[in-house]
Amino acid sequence: MDPLAVREISSCTIRPRRKLAQAPPQRCDLTPWDVRLLFLRYSQKGLLFHRPYPPDGQEEEPISNIIERLKHALSHVLVHFYPLAGRFVFENDASSSSSSSSHVYIDCNDAGAEFIHAFADISVTDVLAPVDVHPILQSFFPLNGAVNCDGSSLPLVALQLTELTDGFFLACSFNHVFGDGSSFWHFFKSWSEIYKSNISGENEPLVDISRPPVIHRWFPSRNPPPVSLPFSSVDEYIERHSFPRIRQRFFDLTGESIARLKAKANQEYKTDRISCFQALSAHVWISITRARALPADQLTVFGCPIDNRSRLQPPLSRDYLGNCTQIAVAIVNAGELLANGLGWAAWQLHQCVAEHNDDVIRSTYAGLGREFVLPSKLDNRNVGASSSPRFDLYGVDFGWEKAVAVRSGWDNKFDGMVLFFPGREGGGSMDLELCLAPEVMCALESDKEFMNLVSPFLLKE
């Protein structure tokens, strides 16, 4: 047997503890922001923890107790996030003049989530030791290769706790149609909050959470549900692509180095409006474009997801559950990008973000339901940002001390994808996961301007 193989110990379906709460509405409609993601893969993120050791004189909690507590807490958190325990239903539009249209919604039928307990004979340090992301990580995530539209038969969320020799990896595969990164970490953190309450028994009351999700989806008055889809069957659109040939590597950036980069960008463009994120994004965009050696007249795009919650008027709650993001893009020639420098590139990103307001959101809303993000449309000229340094992922607290690191699965990866995470040490630090073609990653690793800013992600004790 491969010593790095992940061995599944048990698997079960966890349903909401419905007897503890009023039955929910049976249907959850989906917005254009949701349905346009039907043909991407599930979102996959997970946290790496050291095994919690008890205070002196106390016995270590058996793993069987930890597993049961996780499952029990999951049954409670699914009451709060009840559509996540449902399944998609696709229906033809009987009232439509076209025979090739349909719509989709979530049937809140309490079909449940999947929970897996697994084991891998590898240590926390071993997981983080390689320069590139360790290949064993792929086996830490459930539902690998699942496409979001599979949520009609597969769970909308699946969790896996993989025991390591001295720690845990807790992974979540989350149907992206159900929610964006904010919704993902809202669910994950709420689960940990309930776990820490140490509930037990069959008749305890439902555990409250500090941030109850806002379940009702936002539809402007001109665009009521359901959203009409331009096909009668998902089989007409679905493309199950193999995972691309890329290298994945983490880089660790201190708050001080990012602050210097921001100051440089603002000084070059004679402004004070460029943010840390925009300066860093511009630096990464320039560095990757240089490593690709694109022709000067080749267009290159930087795509950045923007949270619409606070930009709508009136704004939506930060606890709004669902997808509430759109991609803002900056488009320039490669030669122009490399010639004009950091400040100019950062200003292009600043402008496309600043112009993303309530009018823009509403004007593009209706058409999104008929536009789908297909992996085949992603190419090697562009850079796409994902995740966010604003997500409080190190605030996910199961009582096992702060997570050692965050890792993502093989979901929707492509050459040019950059994932931004908050740094474990705080203070404005960030961690980047870069996904690049092997030859491009090698060129980037030889780029002194880029490597002088970053350092390889190291295990911090």
Supply the residues annotated as catalytic.
Answer: 176, 397
Percentage helix, strand, coil for the chain under 3-state DSSP, each rounded to 5: 30, 25, 45
Q: How is 232-263 classified by DSSP, letter by letter? A: S-GGGT---PPPPS-EEEEEEE-HHHHHHHHH
Q: Rounded to 5 degrees, what are φ and ψ at 189?
A: -70, -35
Location of structure tokens 């709650």? 317
Q: Which residues contact 277 (CB under 8 A, 6 or more apart)?
A: 389, 420
- Integer Cα distance of 458 and 461 in angstroms: 9
- Integer Cα distance of 11 and 68 in angstroms: 12
Question: What's the 3-state SS for 279-339?
Answer: HHHHHHHHHHHHHHCCCCCCEEEEEEEEECCCCCCCCCCCCECCCCEEEEEEEEEHHHHHH
- Integer Cα distance of 325 and 153 in angstroms: 26
Specify whether the CB–CB gap between 395 and 192 falls below 8 A. Answer: no
Residue 422's beta-bridge partner residues?
A: 430
The C-alpha R_g of the chain, in whole angstroms, comes to 22
List strands edge to edge, sheet with 113-120: 6-14, 113-120, 157-163, 167-174, 43-50, 405-408
Specify whether the CB–CB gap between 121 and 4 falls below 8 A. Answer: yes
Reported for 206-209, long-range contacts at CB under 8 A and 24+ positions apart, including other chains, are 206/17, 206/20, 206/21, 206/76, 206/79, 207/73, 207/76, 209/77, 209/80
